[in-house]
Amino acid sequence: MSVVGRRIGRLEDRRLLRGLGHFVDDVNRVGQLWMRVFRSPHAHARIKNVRTDEVLALPGVEAVLTGEDLAWTRPIPIRTRTKHQLDDFLQPVLARDRVRYVGEPIAVVLAEDPYLAEDAVELIRVEYEELPVVLDARSAIEADASPVDGFESEAATLRMGYGDVETAFHDAACVVEIEVKIGRHSGVPLETRGLVAEYDAGSDHLTIWGATKVPHFNRRVLSQMLGMPLNRISMKKSDAGGGFGVRGEFYPEDFLVPYLARETGRPVKWIEDRAENLVAANHSREQVHRIGAAFDEEHRLLGLRDEVWHDNGAYIRTHGVIVPDLTLAMLPGPYRVPAYEGTAHVALTNKTPCGTYRGPGRYESTFAREHLLDVAAARLGIDRLELRRINLLETSELPHTRPLSTLDTDVVLDAGDYEGLLDKAIARSGFDEWEKEARELRAGERLVGTGVGYFLEKSGTGPYEEAIVEVDPTGSVRVITGGASLGQGIETVLAQIAAEQLSVPPEEIEVVHTETDLLPLPGGDSGRLRAPQRSGRRRGAGPRRPPHLLRGPHDLPLWGAPGPGRDRPGDRRSRDQTLFYCLRGRPRGQPHARRGSAYRWGGAGSRGSFARGVPLRRFGATPRRDLYRLHGTDGGRSPPCGDARVRRRAVTRQPSGAQGSRRRGDRRVRGSRSQRGRGRARNAGLYNGSPREPQQDTRPSARVEGSRFCHS
């Protein structure tokens, strides 16, 4: 059986379950100082005066820093491309003239221990002039509210669409319009944010522990903000107790800790407490949708339009406007929509700034669209499943290209069987029995209902990651990846992929991540769908046999050198198909090959370099594979409190690339959460870690209040 796709114990668990993990709070350096942040208690106020004299008089306090001390710093930049001008809405490291949300950093204290630092922060005295607050994105924009003392209400307006929407709604036999609200969310990882920085004045070098998710982006930003060469900043590996999208972005503390370490010449440590986490880490998802659909006499969709008010909080953070952008791009979903128009107003309010969280944009658009279809089915007098079947794209219509794009990627539904997945989900979940049970309970005056929703996901928008695979003289294998682990098990996945190519047990492979000195310029990590993007690299990252089994140099064609299977001697492959091998000796006629090393290409226009061990084989970017899932729920409402309790839930998943893609040499990941097998569809049913039999998930997961939907 293939190593990839086999159920094995997570390699990370060997240390994590035995209490041998190494988290940022486990990092302690000799002579370190502790940092504590003073945060605003007001949602919007002018700062008139900041007094720190009492703090500085306290024994054991090393330094106090306010916004005036950092007036020279630039605001924190965004990391996602956008055509919108957002520079005026970026967050400063420390507030100077005004605060715009509860929890905004105003000052920091450095002390000899964390308790003293916390006591010292309470001695800071700030004089405020409270200002009017903006709490509702829609009312602020619709009322054309003028800026409140320099506070802009609308940062950007996004528009997407295609087709003649006006004609579609004018000629429709039935138009259904609703309004839905998605509540504000945030991730609450078990481990809060934290950072440790140590500065070596002799070598002018910063070493940082605790960066997660996108360490390479954070390193580049820090290099620019501090004016330090990139090669003098090192991000070191540590375990992460969850992320959910909110951890790992570049926050004010990601500048403050390294800056203070350099300024004081002593290591600096900061660990966020839970109260800080709830007001300082990114929030997400707060949107209002006014969405409508036009249907013909046969209940077919003629057009879809949606106006969104996206509450982004007080500032634009590192994600830019990617959440509303994804919301609009993904809103048509797996349905046949001849005409579509979407508008999103990105509003700034006096709340914690927003970013990405757990499928950003896809969750919001899915809830609005699927709730609209349920309401439309009721008004049209048709079964809600039948309405979806009528409008789902058929396999003969795929690939289906829409003139939309997000994340610099065109929206292409490449392959799949949407209606077939719906039928499997209904059959395997026992949805008919759910509905029967709900009717019986309603007859007994219980408020019980069932729900169903189709979730379309983008995935595999790469590969654009870098990797090195090394085999040392003893045969030990090490995979070096630019990705970061947030608890999703990438060490196990990458070890499996390398194990299959090198014919060694995955347990004997070491996976190293978040070590910027070893792999300086990769892409980082953006969540749970990273495996497909890395897989092409790892699967080509070494010969089919372990190096000690190679017969000789003739087995190893160098880039641009003659070798087995080449069309002609000296034929040069393209950069994206270049092969790199570990050489145990110098092949005849190849003077630049060094023993025990191999050539690594740095990309178009860059110089290559020799890296010890077995580096990778590169592949060019491939079309992304879209995942689509069907959700079904069965639950009831508790009259005293109005909360809905989810009794059962079933999720059916299938990668859209599962149909019609049996090309030899297909390099998608087999057995990962997004792909299984070369061109083979994942079994429909709830994913529970097994590649075979779906199981029912009985976890309570949500509550519904009117038209609002939020996790519980």
Task: State the pLDDT at residue 375.
Answer: 97
What pLDDT band is residue 460 in, cutting at 50, 70 and 90? low
Give the burial string for 342-358 (b: 16+ CB within 10 Å, else e): bbbbbbbbbbbbbbbbb
456 or 121, greater pLDDT: 121
For range 331-335, the mean pLDDT: 97
The CA distance from 174 to 180, in Å, is: 20
For range 172-192, the mean pLDDT: 95
Task: State the pLDDT at residue 652.
Answer: 60
Rg, Å, the chain Cα set: 27
State what percent of residues in the chain have pLDDT above 70: 71
Cis peptide before 75 (omega within 30 of 0): no
Residue 650: its H or E element: strand 644-655
| Angle value at C-alpha 536, between 533 and 538, nearest 5 degrees | 105
Does the pTM surpass 0.85? The reply is no
Residue 267 backbone dihedrals phi, psi, to 5 degrees = -60, 145
Task: State the pLDDT at residue 653.
Answer: 64
SS3 of 418-444: HHHHHHHHHHHHCHHHHHHHHHHHHHC
Task: State the pLDDT at residue 633.
Answer: 54
In sequence order, what are the beta bridge partners of 174?
295
Extract the tokens encoding 33: 């100082």
CA distances from 421 to 191, 394, 454, 679 (A): 37, 11, 10, 16
| Range of lowest pLDDT (396-405, 458-467, 479-488, 567-576) | 567-576
Q: How many CB atoms lie within 10 A of CB 229?
A: 10
Answer whether residue 72 shows pLDDT above 60. yes
For range 211-228, the mean pLDDT: 92
Most confident of 91-100, 451-460, 577-586: 91-100
Task: State the pLDDT at residue 658.
Answer: 36
What pLDDT band is residue 684 in, cutting at 50, 70 and 90? very low
pLDDT tens sequence across 120-159: 999 999 999 999 999 999 988 876 555 555 667 899 999 9
Answer whether residue 272 shows pLDDT above 70. yes
Q: How many CB atoms lie within 10 A of CB 408?
A: 8
Answer whether residue 224 shows pLDDT above 90. yes
Q: Please state, rounded to an integer, the average pLDDT across all residues of the chain.
A: 78
Task: State the pLDDT at residue 708.
Answer: 31
Answer whether residue 541 shows pLDDT above 90. no
Task: State the pLDDT at residue 458.
Answer: 82
The CA distance from 158 to 310, in Å, is: 10
Task: State the pLDDT at residue 573.
Answer: 35
Answer whether residue 498 shows pLDDT above 50. yes
Answer whether residue 489 shows pLDDT above 90. no
User: HSE on the CB side for 83, CA within 13 Å?
Assistant: 8
For range 519-544, the mean pLDDT: 50
What pLDDT band is residue 706 in, cutting at 50, 70 and 90? very low
User: HSE on the CB side for 85, CA within 13 Å?
Assistant: 1
| Range of lowest pLDDT (65-74, 261-270, 636-645) | 636-645
Answer whether residue 584 shows pLDDT above 60. no
